[in-house]
Structures are given as structure tokens and as C-alpha cells.
Amino acid sequence: MRPPIDDTTIRILRDQIPEFEDHFLDLLDIYDEDLTAEIVFMELADYVNDLVVTGSGEEQLERCLAAVEVVVVTTPDGPSLVAYSFVNEIRPGSREAVRSYFERATGRLAEIVWQDGAASALEGIDLAAEIAALLAVETAAPADDNGPD
């Protein structure tokens, strides 16, 4: 048996969403060495959908989506992973409620994925470049428009 997966994206989730740990351990029991980050993020989407449906756990929902944002902006495969395995798995009935918790990068991925209602909207789009451009615009220094001194 191979040791549990050591993936940065999964470590981020496990560190930032302690309530999700039991779900992760259940997946590890089921999938063992075949567990992938994609499966974990699909399970996280189900977890988020359940939080929305029950109307409980606003702080948990905030933590989940903050962790997802960290994955999007700090890991090389984060944008694709989150778009395909998380955003695409949010149920249509939960989307409006979840959208208000998305931070900038995850919100942009949702716009792309949900525009046509399917992950097929992602074909031909360089998601990492899309997020990098978004972040570059946000961090660009504002122009000095105070005029001459």
C-alpha cells in the first residue's frame, strides 16, 4: 500500500477545513492509493452543496471557499482542478448562494464554467493564464494621477 497522497492542494483543504477531514478519510478508505485531488474536490463540492441546502455552517462555507481560492491562486494546476472538479460540480440550485462566497479568482472560474452550463465551456481556455491575468490586474500599481508637483 502506498502512503496517503501528498498533494499540496489536498494539504491546503485539510489544513483550512478541519470539518472536511472525516470526508477525506472516508475517501481514503474507499479509494486507497487511487485517491486523486479531483475526487477530493468533487467530494468538497458535494459537501458545499449540502451546506447550502441545509442552510447551516456559514463559517464552514466561508472556510471552504477561502481554501478553494488559495488552491486556485497558489498552485500550478489549481485553476483547472477547481474549475473541472469543484466549480463544475456545484449544483445549479446552489450556485447563487455559493457565488456570493467566491473570491475573485474562483468567481472568474465560475463565470467561465457556468456561462454555458457545462465544463465544455473550458475547452481551449488557458485557465492558469486567465487567473494570472486577473491577479496581475489586481496587483498592478495605480497610476499617479496627482499631476506635476
> Quick one: how far is CA 122 from the chain centroid?
15
Cα four-point dihedral sign 113, 68, 44, 33: positive
What are the CA-CA distances from residue 145 to residues 17, 83, 138, 139, 141 (Å)? 43, 38, 18, 17, 12
Span 54-94, pLDDT tens digits: 998 899 999 999 999 999 999 999 999 999 999 999 999 99
Count Cα neighbours of 46 within 13 Å in the Cβ-side half-sphere.
Answer: 10
What's residue 62's pLDDT?
96
Quote the pTM value: 0.83
Largest CA distance in the chain: 69
